[in-house]
Amino acid sequence: MLKVLGRTSSINVQKVMWVVGELGIEVDQTNIGGPYGGNDKPEYLELNPNGRVPTIIDGDHIQWESNSCVRYLAESEGTGTWYPKTLQARGFANMWMDWATTTIHPHMFPLFWGLIRTAEEDKDHDAIEAARVSLCDVWGLLDKHLATSKFLAGDDISMGDIPAACFAYRWHTLDIERPDLPNFRAWYDRIADRQAFQQHVMLPLV
């Protein structure tokens, strides 16, 4: 049975659990990290020397880094469109996964952390607003792309949608002002209708 080590409130664990849910993989998930601790223990560091989550264990195979775990599971267990069949489609999916990490995350982190995980008296409202404004531009870029594409890597949902959609849930759930981006919103709504996304990603923000 696949083991997933990491707390379910972590967006990186949510990526993995979402694809696990979509593919119907039997899983043993253990809350580690954050308030649960355990990620600094020697036995965990032997599995993942970074001390971060998630880590997956598939038989004798141990892997970490959330996007790579999603790719591994989509390829090894994938049915349907999660792991695109052509080299070009996989290239697009990988591109958008990496884009979410390099382009969304640097702005989402200070926005989310500032609003949700920082005490009111310690909030840097200027930094929070700067992150929000930057993300308006980032999501605007995605909105233009989605004017001609139902999902990020084409007309079918794939692993390429997973990281950006997890960030998009937080964006649409935070108490902030958001611009009207109809293509981006329609894409998000299509994904938000999926049961596995609701179960593993659409969780309270803590």
Instruction: For the chain, give every domain's residue range.
Output: 2-77, 87-198
CATH code of domain 2-77: 3.40.30.10
Angle between helices 66-77 and 162-173 (to 10 degrees): 130
Residue 108 near residue 144, CB atoms below 8 Å? no
The amino acid occupying position 184 is F
Q: What is the pTM of this model?
A: 0.96
CATH architecture of 87-198: Up-down Bundle (1.20)
Is residue 119 scored above 80 in pLDDT?
A: yes
Q: Residues 128-186: pLDDT tens digits?
A: 999 999 999 999 999 999 999 999 999 999 999 999 999 999 999 999 999 999 999 99
What angle (nearest 5°) sits at the alpha carbon of residue 156, between those of residues 84 and 180? 130
